[in-house]
A and B are shown apart, each in its own frame.
Chain A
Amino acid sequence: MDKAALAGALGSPSAFGQSQFALTRGNAFEAKVKADGGAELLRLVHARLDPAAEPPHEAAVPDLSATGPEVRTARTALALREATGAPGTWTLLDHPMLALDVAGSPAFLEPDAVVVHPDGSWTVVEIKSFPMLDGSADPAKVGAAARQAAVYVLALEEVAARLVDEETPAPRVRHRVLLVCPKDFSNLPTASAVDIRKQRAVTARQLARLTRVQDIADSLPEGVCFAPDLPPAELTAAVESVQAAYAPECLAACELAFHCRDRSRAAGAVTALGRPVRAELGGLTTVDDVLSAARGESGDPDDPAVAALRRAAALRAEALAAAGRDITLATTGVGVAPCR
């Protein structure tokens, strides 16, 4: 589903998209990391994750190209089986394809690389273009990379489980992945091992839950269809029927967030102001309900949320009165010049 196109058709186009500068740089960096049969990448895997193993002087780089995700997935599984069955060698799988069962249907995933160690264990490699500066990197971006890698690890574990037969146990999928980034202000690669056990546990649980509720799609009314060329009213109605719990964090993550925000604001939902806002409001969920409770026009005074609101309103009014004036009057009233 193309969420950006859908958002545009709903009348709330999003600001998503990627700068071609970032794209170019990202591709160039990945190519540099994987140059010479992945020599540098394998060196980093060896140094950071498996220093006791034989250094990777030469490595197998099987050809995984094929048409169609199903065929590529099969090729990947085959290559993994072969690599695992050849102890003592390093194998680099460049852009393998993995399938993960999400709520009953396969989702195809393409990690940047998977490395098979001489001991037959597998490592997920993520190549990112944000820098590692003095050994640390933007924690939000590392967190996102870890969650992404956790999904690959789960998918690999499914592949590994299928390789079991009477003689061979399932290959080990390592729970420390390798994150490769440019070093400081250069385009030279550096890497850090990231423990993804937490993210893996969370993702596994989320996936199990999706399967349990048989996918969001199943909970939708029959005949719902998200096609951007539907008339806006129909489209809006279709999207409304999906229970979306909008919160401001969505803005950074989803193309449809501006649309959801419009709806959330129109409904007067307090969560449009951020999830923490709701923490002290108890059962009050709309702006009008809260303000009217604070003014003493509604609400049960024995409800601690209502009582606290009234005390807060009284204290706030007292403080503003003590300050002697309403501060908003101090603004120009003319308005900051709109952008030209």
Chain B
Amino acid sequence: MTAPAFDPGTAATRATDAILHDTLYGTHRGVVVDSPPGAGKSTLVVRAALELADAGRPLMVVAQTNAQVDDLVLRLAEKNPELPVGRLHSSDADPYDTALDDLPQVRKSAKAADLTGLPVVISTAAKWAHVTVDEPWRHAIVDEAYQMRSDSLLAVAGLFERALFVGDPGQLDPFAIVGSEQWAGLSYDPSASAVTTLLAHNPDLPQHRLPVSWRLPASAAPLVSDAFYPYTPFRSGTDHGDRRLTFAVPSDGSGPDRVIDEAASSGWGLLELPARHTPRTDPEAVRAVATVVRRLLDRGGAAVSERSPDPAPLTADRIAVGTAHRDQAAAVRSALAELGAADVTVDTANRLQGREYDVTVVLHPLSGRPDATAFHLETGRLCVLASRHRQACIMICRAGVTDLLDDYPSTEPVQLGTVVKFPDGWEANHTVLAHLAEHRVSLRP
């Protein structure tokens, strides 16, 4: 017996149809959708919004940041320029992307009353929390629901009758700046994620997942799926050979060039510096990151993919650098400026969530560290950094991280009644490192 060949397009369409069916015709008050990196979450949100609007159901959309809100408004406008959309914004200075000013069908206001009657109104959870209504919306879409805190959902859930919750469970969890242990184990722990609370109180809600990552290449999906989504695996939408990264300029034999070639051929590269304890802004590692980026640009890279069968040049806007800390990002930025590559995006994991590039260069969160804290071990951080690329990901790291992990086994306290977050960062880190070790290039500065 042979298994039928997996057709990603069909699988994804089937999932989307089921989600839309439950959303439009289901009897439950909520539908939850897990979306792994690059699985078409935004496309789904836009489609669901348009179909709900078509069906004449007034819709509110809750996103977590202003950038996400503006992005959704632009995507909706792109799909249906006729649809009137309300952009509810704060009363701060520059509350929304000025690109919205060019869209005549988008009405913008800081007052919800000004937007009454529009088929779709979009805002952040923080802004929605200040809105009061006599008549709740028939429908809501809550985007990035896993990054939303339970208390934030509590503040807005009274505004709608039913909702579609969409998000990526593998990304960074929401956090509180003060201790919240006293509520651990409660179904409505205010510091937990909105989805955790929602499902604890409504275990029967239909739960779907998008099964195909259109972003991650065939080389990356299995690792990211195994390491970060062991119980909800996904596949790559493309096959080995569908994507190709080539360079016009051959390798000069240096570490950076060799790791670039390794990553171009296998999708992953680890540029390993000698073991050493360093400050966060390890100058050698920062220089290595900058050099790799410079060489990526200088070597005339070209990316072939299902989107562009003709090689598309690997330009600065198709490359990003990811770090754990802001000061590391700042150090990399200034190193890149010195090398004349200031237009490459450099950001922390938090800010890279939801973004996509051809090649990413990542300063490993544990590189050079004398200790491994919960922050650095957080599963979501590594997951975000390792899942932004369409072609290849290059990690820069000091040797010795495996031993560091072994010296810091997770001996976390355990709160009774809480659902264990799985996998934990310690194990996920080991899985990723073991895989990267097969693509290692040593660098002796």
Interface on A for B, CB 8 Å cutoff? 132, 135-137, 139-140, 142-143, 145-147, 179, 192, 194-195, 197-198, 201-203, 205-206, 209, 245, 275-276, 278-283, 285, 302-305, 308
Contact = CB atoms under 8 A, between A and B. Distances in A.
B350 interface: no
A194 B419 CA distance: 10
Contacts, number: 91
Nearest to B426: A202
Given A137-B416, A194-B416, A281 B279 contact: yes
Interface stretch (B43-51, B369-377, B380-388): B369-377
A282 B277 contact: yes
B425 to A, nearest CB: 10
A333 to B, nearest CB: 37
B65 interface: no
Interface stretch (B120-128, B235-243, B253-261, B402-410): B402-410
B406 A209 contact: yes
12 contacts: A135-B185, A136-B417, A139-B184, A142-B415, A143-B412, A146-B414, A192-B417, A198-B412, A282-B277, A282-B279, A305-B279, A308-B279
A194 B414 contact: yes
Nearest to B402: A209
Closest 3 CB pairs of A and B: A139-B413, A305-B279, A282-B279
B409 A202 contact: yes
A304 B281 contact: yes
Given A198-B424, A302-B283, A278 B411 contact: no
A290 to B, nearest CB: 12
Contacts of B184: 136, 139
Contacts of A135: 185, 416-417
Contacts of B369: 279
Contact of B371 (A179, A279, A283): A279
Given A146-B414, A279-B371, A206 B409 contact: yes
Nearest to B283: A304
Nearest to A282: B279
B201 interface: no
B373 A197 contact: no
Interface string B281-299: 1110000000000000000
Interface in B306-359: 331
B422 A275 contact: no
B420 interface: yes
Interface in B426-445: 426-427, 430
Report, as a range, how many residues of chain B touch the other chain. Answer: 20 to 34
B283 A136 contact: no
Nearest to A198: B424
Given A147-B411, A245-B407, A279-B370, A198 B422 contact: yes
A209 to B, nearest CB: 6
A201 B278 contact: no
A308 B422 CA distance: 37
A267 to B, nearest CB: 16
B204 interface: no
B280 A283 contact: no
A93 B263 CA distance: 55
A107 B253 CA distance: 51
B278 A283 contact: yes
Interface in B106-162: none
A201 B427 contact: yes
Contacts of B371: 275-276, 278-279
Given A139-B413, A198-B424, A203-B409, 8 more contacts: A143-B411, A195-B420, A197-B420, A198-B420, A275-B371, A280-B279, A282-B277, A304-B282
Nearest to A275: B371
Nearest to A305: B279
Contacts of B424: 198, 201
A276 B413 contact: no
B72 to A, nearest CB: 36
Which of B185, B276, B282, B370 gathers the greatest number of chain A CB atoms within 10 Å? Answer: B370
A283 B277 contact: yes
Contacts of B279: 280-282, 303-305, 308
A303 B410 contact: no
A304 B427 CA distance: 31
B277 A136 contact: no
Contacts of B78: none
A209 B417 CA distance: 31
A194 B407 CA distance: 25
Contacts of B373: 276, 279
Contacts of A179: 416
Contacts of B94: none
A304 B422 CA distance: 36
A140 B413 contact: yes
A142 B410 CA distance: 14
Contact of B278 (A142, A192, A282): A282
A283 B415 contact: no
Interface string B18-31: 00000000000000
A195 B420 CA distance: 7
Given A197-B422, A308-B279, A206 B410 contact: no
B92 interface: no
Contacts of A201: 424, 427
B416 A132 contact: yes
A303 B331 CA distance: 13
Contacts of A143: 411-414
B167 to A, nearest CB: 23
